[in-house]
Amino acid sequence: MALYLTRFSYTPQTWDRLTRNPEDRRDAARSYIESVGGKLHGFWYAFGSHDGYTLWEAPDNVSMAAVAIAIGGGGAVSKYETTPLLTVEETLEAMELARTVGYRSPGA
């Protein structure tokens, strides 16, 4: 399974609803990813350019995309970005494969 980091920001209306009725959104996040056969590894709130971060594990990109589409279409978030994370081993494999690509700099 692959790991994914998401960054999200709630809408002002969502913050208003959560302020009036606080709830642990980890439970909801866990149910979303488990519905596609994945696992929630972490859920954090922050202040700065994003309101929160999650670390998910999903069987594949399509499964993670389904969760992202459902959350993004739900109207509670104003921003939702997902980054697939590579293991060190996957990155080393990519570095080896990169030597065979034959990249040429523009104008060279």
Cα 96 from Cα 107, distance rounded (Å): 25
pLDDT of residue 59: 96
pTM: 0.87
Q: Is 33 exposed, middle or buried (0-12, 13-18, 19+ CB in 10 A)?
A: buried
Closest among 83, 104, 87 to 95, alpha carbons compared: 87
pLDDT of residue 106: 94
pLDDT of residue 42: 98
Cα 46 from Cα 30, distance rounded (Å): 19
pLDDT of residue 108: 78
pLDDT of residue 22: 97
pLDDT of residue 55: 98
Q: Is 53 exposed, middle or buried (0-12, 13-18, 19+ CB in 10 A)?
A: middle
SS3 99: coil
pLDDT of residue 62: 97
pLDDT tens-digit profile, the chain (108 residues): 899 999 999 999 999 999 999 999 999 999 999 999 999 999 999 999 999 999 999 999 999 999 999 999 999 999 999 999 999 999 999 999 999 999 989 997
